[in-house]
């Protein structure tokens, strides 16, 4: 199997990593630590780090400071949200769901969706492209 890599950038010099291979082991503690020290989370109150990406699945660790939002628009595939810390208010097709640790939300493709941090939050966003 061929594998794909992410290339390091000026913004993320340690960013050279495998994104897709026969298996990808993710050190979530290191990823969280890296995100916490990036200027983007400090300046914008939100940041994401792709830990796996293939043609059918993307997994991103997202950090949102309280009051920030992402994804106003339609979902591109089946999306799964798993909160590690904090609280999200997720609006899906005009319904609101409160999402906290130990809860998982699955959203079908082509749904209007917005994710809002009610508290400082860390969560995984799994996006399965159909």
Q: Render 98-114 in DSSP notation, one character per residue.
A: EE-TT-EEEE-TT-EEE
6 CB-contact burial (10 Å; exposed 0-12 / middle 13-18 / buried 19+): middle
pTM: 0.84
- Given this model, what pLDDT does residue 117 score? 97
Nearest in space to 5 (alpha carbons), one of 55, 57, 52, 62: 52
| Average pLDDT rounded to a whole number, residues 90-103 | 95
Provide the token pair at 3.
Answer: 């594998």
- Given this model, what pLDDT does residue 88 score? 98
Helix (H, G, I), strand (E, B) or coil at 20: strand
pLDDT digits (tens, 9 = 90+) for 30-88: 888 888 887 777 788 898 988 999 999 999 999 999 999 998 889 989 999 999 999 99
Average pLDDT of the residues of the chain: 86
What is the C-alpha separation between 99 and 85, in angstroms, rounded? 10
CATH number at 4-128: 2.60.120.10
pLDDT at 8 over 90: no
What is the C-alpha separation between 119 and 116, in angstroms, rounded? 9
| Average pLDDT rounded to a whole number, residues 14-20 | 62
């Amino acid at each position: 199997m061929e594998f794909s890599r992410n290339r390091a950038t000026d913004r993320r010099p340690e960013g050279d990593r495998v994104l897709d291979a026969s298996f990808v082991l993710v050190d979530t503690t290191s990823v969280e630590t890296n995100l916490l020290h990036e200027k983007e989370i400090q300046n914008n109150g939100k940041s994401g780090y792709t830990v796996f990406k293939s043609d059918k699945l993307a997994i991103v660790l997202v950090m949102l400071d309280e009051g920030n939002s992402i994804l106003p628009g339609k979902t591109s595939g089946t999306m799964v949200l798993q909160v590690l810390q904090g609280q999200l208010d997720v609006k899906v097709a005009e319904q609101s769901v409160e999402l906290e640790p130990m809860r998982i939300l699955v959203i079908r493709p082509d749904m209007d969706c917005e994710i809002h941090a009610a508290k400082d939050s860390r969560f995984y966003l799994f996006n399965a492209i159909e």
